[in-house]
Structure 1
Amino acid sequence: MFWKKRFSFDKIPDLSGKVVIVTGGNTGIGFVTARELARKNAHVFVASRTSERGERAVELIKKETNKDAVEFLQLDLKSLNSVKLAAETFLARKLPLHILVNNAGIMATPFEKTSDGIQDQFGVNHLGHFLFTLLLLPTIKASDSARIVNVSSMAHERAPPAGIEFEKLNDPNALNSFQRYYQSKLANVLFTLELNKRLSGTNVYCNSLHPGIIKTELTRGVVADWGSWIKPFVYISTFFMITADDGALTQLYCATSPEIEEKNFRGKYFVPYGEVSEPIAQGKDEELAKKLWDFSENLIKEKLGDDVFSKSYA
């Protein structure tokens, strides 16, 4: 699929004074996003699971942009305790938060559970970001003209007929690895839908997007689950993929373009390169979005205690 490139790095406005967190900012489109935001003078936190890869990305961004306001933030989305600690670590800095890019993700990985006993693609791609966002929300709302960007995928269009199979979430035989990925990407769209409703009347612009089919490390999960025989097919498919630089453009548009505010884009779904599109019907199902929110909130309370949200999204 080919899209008209209506947004580019040079259209990113000056971001002096803006504070940003990019999850998965150590690699792929997350790295490009963090790099370009830093280049435009934002104070950028690269949220990554390992300090080795995160710190390496920070140093590379500093070198490529000649900017020093880039920091590493420890965030392991496979652990709700790590997510909570990451939010608390950032909040302890008493900084505003103008842009949150929920970019990190895994794709089509072998069935596995997180440290909290939750199916990992749902846990990493949706639940970890759900918790991280809500813990940071009071600070986001208190910041001047803020953005929340949830990176989904056109893969959400192939989610199960039920949308989210809540009761079968931890059943390794219910869905294959790709179907679990599709389901998690629909969850990103639904989370955006419900969060945007709850942000009514605030200065926070929350949107989701499909970044494109991109040549990144994301395909490693496919090989891990399906075996080395699939490597030639993955390699051939890369000829039809866009670069990480191009793949980052849509989330950079959602995170920085003045058009978001000028056109009051809230709760929208974007495709490359900054075009408003429509998710499938399930992605616009307000009842399903509310059900996902309640399910996610209750699941986190079950794992971390009822008081985990006592100071969040007030």
Structure 2
Amino acid sequence: MVVLYECFKVAIVTGANTGIGFVTARELVRKNAHVFIASRSKDKGESAVELIKKETKKDAVEFLQLDLKSLNSVKCAAETILARNLLLHILVNNAGIGLTPLEKTSDGIQDQFSVNHIGHFLFTLLLLPTIKASASACIVNVSSMAHVRAPPAGIEFEKLNDPNALTSFQRYSQSKLANILFTIELNKRLSGTNVYCNSLHPGIIKTQMTRGAVANWGTWLNPIISIVSLFLLSPDDGALTQLYCATSPEIEEKNLCGKYFVPYGEVGEPIAQGKDEELAKKLWDFFENLIKEKLGDDIFSKSYV
């Protein structure tokens, strides 16, 4: 059973205007955290802020503009937080898209990989100074059991933007494997600090993620989705595992870091590629260099050691 604990902390939840991100943000506010709802849509983000205020009777929630399809937007969002001179105790990298037709972002990167991994990679690294300055902090990367369907190589770096290399579902699975590998390498680099970094599969949840499938294959899927949704977890249940990773004192007490969690708050096992430390290091270096090409070599000058 997952128990939610009082927080009295500062938190950011990406993609918190809907689904399990919204529930996560709402429950963190309910437990006395000050929460930033990081979202691309200002209207949806501010509506979520107002709804959380109404449901919790608390005002400690704000909107943060964050478009994970744009590296410049990610940079600006991180700079906005750093300029506030706040400690940051909880970062939940929750936002994601899935099963969408292949499109490239303004940075020329395949959109599923950009939103699900690269944007969060950059956002996290830029926020590390304030995260590490906190007495104790948690970074939670929301992955998926879909990572098991990633290509045999794990990450096909050179074919990332090739529309013929992978199916939409494989592109999604690859990005979710990247979340797990990022967690492994980040945890290694944060060794000796009081930052606990974990990834997780939240469960198969009734959320708006199915919009990508409809956009890809057509509205004929809607009746099927409606039937399947009857058997899926609610967003309230789906948020429990990431809330556990973000708030449970067991994370620190048991030194649970670099783990992959499954519902509800249990340590699970990713596939072999999800435990490949060499692949995790290659992933880190590849996208660190890619971001430097896009934003300049000094982008990470103050973000991490």
Q: TM-score, normalised by structure 1?
A: 0.96
- Superposed CA deviations along residues 278-298 of structure 1, whole A, max 9, x for unmatched, are 100000000000000001101
Whole-angstrom distance in 1 between the partners of 2:7 and 2:90: 10
- Which of the numbers 4, 27, 38 marks the counterpart of 1:12? 4
- Superposed CA deviations along residues 250-307 of structure 1, whole A, max 9, x for unmatched, are 0000000111111110100000000001100000000000000001101101111111
* Aligned match of 2:178: 187
* Aligned match of 1:227: 218
* Aligned match of 2:129: 138
Deviation at 1:234, TM superposition (A): 1.6
Query: Secondary structure of the equivalent of 2:209?
Result: helix
Whole-angstrom distance in 2 between the partners of 1:66 and 1:230: 39
Deviation at 1:233, TM superposition (A): 2.0
Q: Percent identity?
A: 81
Query: Secondary structure of the equivalent of 1:240?
Result: coil
* Aligned match of 1:107: 98
After the TM superposition, which parts of structure 1 deviate over 3 Å for at least 4 consecutive aligned residues?
none
Whole-angstrom distance in 2 between the partners of 1:216 and 1:106: 11
* Aligned match of 2:118: 127
Deviation at 1:232, TM superposition (A): 2.2
Deviation at 1:50, TM superposition (A): 1.1
Bigger mean CA deviation after superposition, 270-279 or 225-234: 225-234
Q: Does 1:177 align with 2:168?
A: yes
Whole-angstrom distance in 1 between the partners of 2:134 and 2:10: 9
* Aligned match of 2:152: 161
Q: Does 1:27 align with 2:43?
A: no
**Residue identity in the other structure for 1:157:** V
Whole-angstrom distance in 2 between the partners of 1:185 and 1:254: 17
* Aligned match of 2:190: 199
Whole-angstrom distance in 1 between the partners of 2:182 and 2:225: 30
**Residue identity in the other structure for 2:223:** P
Query: Secondary structure of the equivalent of 1:161?
Result: coil
Deviation at 1:209, TM superposition (A): 0.1
Q: What RMSD in Å do the two structures reach over aligned CA positions?
A: 0.6
Whole-angstrom distance in 1 between the partners of 2:289 and 2:67: 20
Q: Does 1:305 align with 2:300?
A: no
- Superposed CA deviations along residues 24-81 of structure 1, whole A, max 9, x for unmatched, are 0110000000000000110000000011000000000001001111000000000000
Whole-angstrom distance in 1 between the partners of 2:271 and 2:227: 28
Whole-angstrom distance in 1 between the partners of 2:63 and 2:128: 20
* Aligned match of 2:85: 94
* Aligned match of 1:293: 284
Whole-angstrom distance in 2 between the partners of 1:255 and 1:219: 26
Q: Does 1:62 align with 2:53?
A: yes
**Residue identity in the other structure for 1:97:** L
**Residue identity in the other structure for 1:155:** A
Whole-angstrom distance in 1 between the partners of 2:272 and 2:228: 28
Whole-angstrom distance in 2 between the partners of 1:299 and 1:136: 19
Whole-angstrom distance in 2 between the partners of 1:231 and 1:54: 26
* Aligned match of 1:3: none
Query: Secondary structure of the equivalent of 1:172?
Result: coil
Whole-angstrom distance in 1 between the partners of 2:221 and 2:39: 28
Show the 5 A alignment for 1:262-277: 262-277=253-268
Residue ranges of structure 2 left out of the alignment (5+ in a row): none
